Structure 1
Amino acid sequence: MADLSESQKEVVKIEIDTHLATMHNLTSSKIGGPSGIIIPPYRILRNMEDQMLSPPSKECEYVFCHMDLSQHNIIVDPVTLKIKAIIDFEYSGFWPVQFELHFYTRLGPSVGREGEIDDTNELLKFLTVIVLVAF
C-alpha cells in the first residue's frame, strides 16, 4: 500500500475499514492475543520490558485488533487495488477498539507523529490497571 498514489490509497482505505469491521466482530473478555499472551503494540513495547498477565474483564468486551496496521503491512494489488494480504499480526489480539489507530492513512510507523493522536499514555494507563488487577 505504501507504494500507491494518494488517490489509490483512498480506494484501499475503504476496503481496510471493511476488514477492520470484520476483525472487530471477534470479541473476548480478555485483552491480548488468542493464546492469552499480551504483546503490547510497538508504541508501548519500545518503552517497556515487563511481561504482563491479563485477568478477564467484568465490565467490557474487547475486539480483535491488528494494532500495527500501517501501509507497509497491507499488501495491495496495484492494478485492482484490492487488498491481497494484511501481514504482521505479532501485536494483534483482543483490545479496546479505541486503541486500533488508523496508521494506514499515512506513511510511517504505527506511532503517533507530531500533530496526530498519540494514545501511548492512555494505553500505558490501561495496561497498568490491567497489571494491578492481575496481581
Structure 2
Amino acid sequence: MEHSEPHSPGLIGSLAGVAKNSLRLVLSRVELAALELSEMRNHLVQLAVLFALAVLAAWFAIAFGTATLIYLVWEALGWKILLILAVVFAIVAVVLIMSIKKLILQGKLALTATMAELKADRDALL
C-alpha cells in the first residue's frame, strides 16, 4: 500500500486561492456596506418625517402663540414685544442648531461597522 503525501497546489493554485479568498472578502464587505446603507436610509427617512412633522407643529404653535402674546401685551409694551420675541426665537434657533450638530457628531449616520472592518482588512494586508 502506497502512502502519498498531500499534493501542494503550486504557485498557480496558491494564487487562485488567494484571489478567491480576496473576492470573498470584498463581497462580504460589500454586503456589510449594503446592509448598513439600508439601515441608514431607514433612519434618514424616519428622521425626515419626524423633522417635517415637528417643523409643521412648531410653526403653528409659534404663529398662534406669538399672535396671542402680541395681542395681550401690546398695550403695555408696544413695539418692544416684537424685539423681545425676536430675541427669544433667535435663542431657540441656536439651541436647535446645537442639538442637530450634536446628533451629527455622535456618528449615528456613519458606517461604523463597515469602516472598522475595512480598517482591519487594511491593517491585515499591510
More helix by share: 2
Structure index of larger Rg = 2
Same fold (TM over 0.5): no
